[in-house]
Amino acid sequence: MRLGGVAAVALGGALIGLAPIAVRLSEVGPLATNLWRFLFALPILAIWAARSAPTARRDIFWLLAAGVLFGIELNLWAIALTKTTVANATLLANTTPVFAAAFGWFVFKERLGAGVLLGGLCAMIGAVLLTLGRAQTGVGPAGAEQGLIGDGMGLAAAVGYAGYLLIVRSLGSRVSVGAVMFWAGVSSAALTFVLCLITGERLFPHSVQGWALLVGLGAFVQVGGQGLIAYGVGRLPIVISTVLLWTQPLAAAALSWVLFSEALGPVALLGAALVLGGLYIVQRARAPAPVHQ
């Protein structure tokens, strides 16, 4: 195992864990916050993509389509943060591997082994307990009914991200990480801008601190966090990467506990453990078998 890969994934996950805190603290709405996250990241991603191998037009089309799904996922998750706890929105949005396994079975006819089914069941039971635990304690930025809607949006975000990963996976090794992040970022930004116009969200923060938060979200979280994860995941076994990526929801949950007093009760803690454990089982079951030479 390469220590550089371990450090990159752990640090990248921790940086991504700052995103929900930034959405909550932002001076503009959740959609506008995401818009600036994409816009401030795009110039850096354009340089990254330009230094990679040229991308075929057909692949660009599919990357733009993937970006629409990514934009849907990120915006559903951002809105969920305004209705439910940071821990619930983030953990539920991270159930992507369960839906990715289901899509793999449906699209690629991959066999769903006992481990995938067991892990998926554990994760879904954990998701239900997370929702019940939040309703039981009453914590969160909105009422009980809005919290339930937020939990549902967090889970729906995981479905959108699974679709994004399905398209990226189908492109195989033809497209670089920089190209994926740039072209997907272009269509994500375009979609988010349209949504901002439809909802009438205010686009511009009113202070230097507000702008600094948005710049940091784009440069450090979107580019730095995602870039470190992309670097590290390619150098580690998938199971190890899965465990290290737990730094994202765990960092988000810890910070929300401190900043927003969103403590997890016993039921929610059990749900969080089942979600993370289920995701670990799913990823372990889907990991390719080692090749012996």
The number of folded domains in the chain is 1
CA angle 217, 9, 96 (to 5 degrees): 80
- With respect to residue 9, please indicate whether it lies within any of the assigned structural domains: yes
What pLDDT shows up at residue 186?
A: 96
Contact 93, 154 (CB under 8 A): yes
Percent of residues, the chain, with pLDDT higher than 90: 39
How far apart CA 5 and CA 44 sit, in angstroms, is 22
Rounded to the nearest 5 percent, the helix, strand and coil shares of the chain are 80, 0, 20
Helices assigned H by DSSP within 245-265: 247-260
What is the average pLDDT value for the chain, to the nearest integer? 86
- Residue 11 in 3-state DSSP? helix
- With respect to residue 292, please indicate whether it lies within any of the assigned structural domains: no
Q: Indicate the range of 17-26, 28-37, 144-153 predicted with least confidence.
A: 144-153
Examine the pLDDT at 268 and tell me if it is beyond 70. Answer: yes
- With respect to residue 110, please indicate whether it lies within any of the assigned structural domains: yes
Query: Alpha-carbon Rg of the chain, whole angstroms?
Result: 18
Tokens of 192: 């988010």
What pLDDT shows up at residue 290?
A: 39
How far apart CA 205 and CA 263 sit, in angstroms, is 29
Contact 1, 49 (CB under 8 A): no
Tokens of 57: 């037009």
Tell me which DSSP letter residue 28 carries: S
**pTM (two decimals):** 0.86
- With respect to residue 101, please indicate whether it lies within any of the assigned structural domains: yes
Q: Which single residue is written with the structure tokens 């990357």?
A: 63
Go through 145-162 and write b for each residue having 16 or more CB atoms within 10 A of its CB, e for each that does not.
Answer: eebbebbbbbbbbbbbbb
Q: Exposed, middle or buried by CB within 10 Å (0-12, 13-18, 19+), for 181?
A: buried
How far apart CA 199 and CA 144 sit, in angstroms, is 23
91: nearest Cα among 267, 260, 281, 252: 252
Q: Indicate the range of 24-33, 42-51, 125-134 predicted with least confidence.
A: 125-134
- With respect to residue 291, please indicate whether it lies within any of the assigned structural domains: no
Tokens of 262: 């969103």
| pLDDT tens-digit readout, 130-174 | 888 887 777 777 666 788 899 999 999 999 988 888 888 788 778
- With respect to residue 19, please indicate whether it lies within any of the assigned structural domains: yes
Q: Exposed, middle or buried by CB within 10 Å (0-12, 13-18, 19+), for 200?
A: exposed
Distance set, CA 245 to CA 229, 230, 278 (Å): 8, 11, 14
Percent of residues, the chain, with pLDDT higher than 70: 92
Examine the pLDDT at 239 and tell me if it is beyond 70. Answer: no
Examine the pLDDT at 291 and tell me if it is beyond 60. Answer: no
Tokens of 48: 């990254």
What are phi and psi for residue 113, nearest 5 degrees?
-75, 175
- With respect to residue 26, please indicate whether it lies within any of the assigned structural domains: yes
What pLDDT shows up at residue 217?
A: 94
Examine the pLDDT at 179 and tell me if it is beyond 80. Answer: yes
What pLDDT shows up at residue 147?
A: 85
- With respect to residue 60, please indicate whether it lies within any of the assigned structural domains: yes
What pLDDT shows up at residue 287?
A: 63
What pLDDT shows up at residue 208?
A: 96
| pLDDT tens-digit readout, 188-237 | 999 999 999 999 999 999 999 999 999 999 999 988 888 888 777 667 76
What pLDDT shows up at residue 73?
A: 93
Structural domain harbouring 38 = 3-286
| Confidence band of 97 (pLDDT split at 50, 70, 90) | confident
How far apart CA 58 and CA 63 sit, in angstroms, is 9
How far apart CA 38 and CA 70 sit, in angstroms, is 11
Residues 6+ apart with CB under 8 A from 127: 91, 92, 95, 151, 155, 271, 275
| Confidence band of 288 (pLDDT split at 50, 70, 90) | low
